[in-house]
Structure 1
């Protein structure tokens, strides 16, 4: 199995990882050492109740999930090393993710002070200042056990409100690229992988995918604007990408991008991205939940090309893993081990294979 990752091996090695020998096993070898169900569990990121620290430990201990997502405003899990029991429950590092963009989407403002929104950053700060701000924020997050900030936003919009609104750096692809790139570089300098979102572009979509299906402009229109920051930033350094629940005329057919093989081909083939790919929330956003039960949505996303399926709805993990295990046994997840290898490489616990020179 050959893996050419678009991220620097070890960039996101988690702070609690006791360290790995220089002669690390290849990611293919590490995947082979895992039981089949454990390989699938590494591809799941599950929302946990931030007021119940033991819930994070339990979902990791019981199911071996590869990541947890902390939403809401409660900070119980981010104080006094409350995540330590969760880390101790897993033989592998666990992604700990929050949405930390600034403005109305941030999680540690009560603990470490607020960040301005992306729109305000672009209007009042220089790129160097944004770089320094993001670096400091990543350092604060890592000190609290967080390993992924799930930012920056690459969506482009001039709207002051709405689901994106001031989460966007603006409408000009060059400016969005400059400021989101500075934010991403700051995260990297603190050892955190940036996660660009919401591919292929939520800024000009018809509504809010939390409340129902939304449609973007046609693919040809996205290519000339919304996709430009991705085209420019993906080659610039290690990163991950999060796909939105977006119906794109000329690309996704009747499915949102998160469940559309064509959307992943656009990212992997046209844009040449080989790094880690997340879905947006599959369990709490009606663009998906109006049509799919969670186990079916997770399977559809992984079959379409996602590396990691995210949900925050509190749905149990067991039935999802049962559905994935049955699909894998039936040969319906042919690239699953390669995706698991990307997850392990992003955690810095194995060495990705070099690209085949042929």
Structure 2
């Protein structure tokens, strides 16, 4: 048990190197995020997850696995899940749309998708996925696009709740993203710093509404690397106004808060000033994040940016510039999966799983 392990890092390949094991063993590291480069097949992925758990059993093994174009594992039996827009289309355009039957069928299908997604990941040893997307489809965002369920916040909320229910059936917790909403801006925060000029009342009534309606369902939330200047000059993930006053205070959220990837362009400037990974991490933690992600840095200079981050946060602890938070650590621990997963071969003949597959659009 660590006092607080806020760092979620990546590993370079399909098995752990000595450097990976050393980093994952550090008490400030709370988990690992996997990518397509970490995948060859199910047997290899399962072995990699076992290696990670052998380093420390409480490490949280995460992945961005939503369905559609954001799905890291696509071969060797993994189901090609539809993008979330497919469920919104089923709601509005499916048989029985006029009577509401299509909406109920769409919710049932979203639950099935959540179960399939979670059960397949768990069968290979993965603990957690960053889903569902709660961004609204305003029509102009290429980075969100069909990852969103719908334009309507109410429809998005009910379909997301259904997906969360399916994830829970598999034993996986969930992560709503990207608070308070990334769907209105056209810029991609991977390569730019998007700005959404709408006021707080508009945001709370529209894009951020699912977070209020789902405050009893969401296990974690990921804020957007977007600046909303009428609310705060800082991106939401670095803003105590957004994370503490609004998300926790006004909207009643009690779960874990992840930063989005701190290597993204949207996270490399705060109030017009370029910041290091360590500065960005400390800013996110002080703002109210419980966990911070630094992705794809194991590929840079043999992982030197990860080592620099671990050293930087360690120094901040020793100098008193950051104090580990026991409540944040408990929130991290609460994200670990519940119950025992079905092994892959048993899952393939499981009645619930086969029925769920039949419900996918």
TM-score category (smaller protein): 0.7 to 0.9
Distance 1:199 1:163 in 2: 15
Determine the structure 1 residue equivalent to 2:295: 312
Output the aligned Cα RMSD. Answer: 2.2
Determine the structure 2 residue equivalent to 1:352: none
Q: Secondary structure at the match of 1:201?
A: coil
Q: 1:297 aligns with which of 280, 298, 301?
A: 280
Q: Is the Cα contact below 8 Å between 1:98 and 1:107 reproduced in 2?
A: yes
Determine the structure 2 residue equivalent to 1:222: 203
**Range with greater deviation from structure 2 (155-164 or 142-151):** 155-164
Q: Is the Cα contact below 8 Å between 2:134 and 2:160 reproduced in 1?
A: yes
Q: Secondary structure at the match of 2:330?
A: helix
Determine the structure 2 residue equivalent to 1:155: 135
Determine the structure 1 residue equivalent to 2:320: 331
CA deviation profile, 1:15-69 (whole Å, cap 9, x unmatched): xxxxxxxxxxxxxxx5xxx4xxxx34x1110022243443654431356621100
Distance 1:161 1:114 in 2: 23
Cα distance, 1:244 vs. partner? 1.3
Determine the structure 2 residue equivalent to 1:246: 226
Distance 1:119 1:75 in 2: 26
| TM-score computed with the length of structure 1 as normaliser | 0.80
Q: Is the Cα contact below 8 Å between 2:215 and 2:254 reproduced in 1?
A: no
Determine the structure 2 residue equivalent to 1:18: none
Distance 1:238 1:175, change over 3 A: closer
Q: Is the Cα contact below 8 Å between 1:44 and 1:309 reproduced in 2?
A: yes
Distance 1:250 1:127, change over 3 A: same
**Higher relative contact order at CA 8 Å, sep ≥6: structure 1 or structure 2?**
1
1:75 aligns with 2:51: no
Q: Secondary structure at the match of 1:221?
A: helix
| TM-score computed with the length of structure 2 as normaliser | 0.79
Determine the structure 2 residue equivalent to 1:110: 75
Determine the structure 1 residue equivalent to 2:350: none
Distance 1:163 1:137 in 2: 21
Cα distance, 1:178 vs. partner? 1.1
Distance 1:50 1:169, change over 3 A: farther
Distance 2:333 2:89 in 1: 38
Distance 1:185 1:102, change over 3 A: same
Q: 2:121 aligns with which of 123, 128, 141?
A: 141
Note the residue ranges of structure 2 that are not aligned, 5 or more in a row. 91-104, 298-303, 339-361
Larger radius of gyration: 2
Post-superposition, which runs of at least 4 consecutive aligned residues in structure 1 deviate over 6 A? none
Q: Is the Cα contact below 8 Å between 1:211 and 1:287 reproduced in 2?
A: yes
Distance 1:344 1:161 in 2: 34
Q: 1:95 aligns with which of 34, 37, 60?
A: 60
Q: 1:170 aligns with which of 140, 150, 169?
A: 150
Determine the structure 2 residue equivalent to 1:288: 267
1:233 aligns with 2:233: no
**Range with greater deviation from structure 2 (194-203 or 264-273):** 264-273
Give the total of aligned pairs: 308
**Range with greater deviation from structure 2 (189-198 or 56-65):** 56-65
Q: Is the Cα contact below 8 Å between 1:50 and 1:76 reproduced in 2?
A: no
Determine the structure 1 residue equivalent to 2:10: 47
Distance 1:95 1:161, change over 3 A: same
Distance 1:303 1:97, change over 3 A: same
Note the residue ranges of structure 1 that are not aligned, 5 or more in a row. 1-29, 350-358
Distance 1:159 1:333 in 2: 40
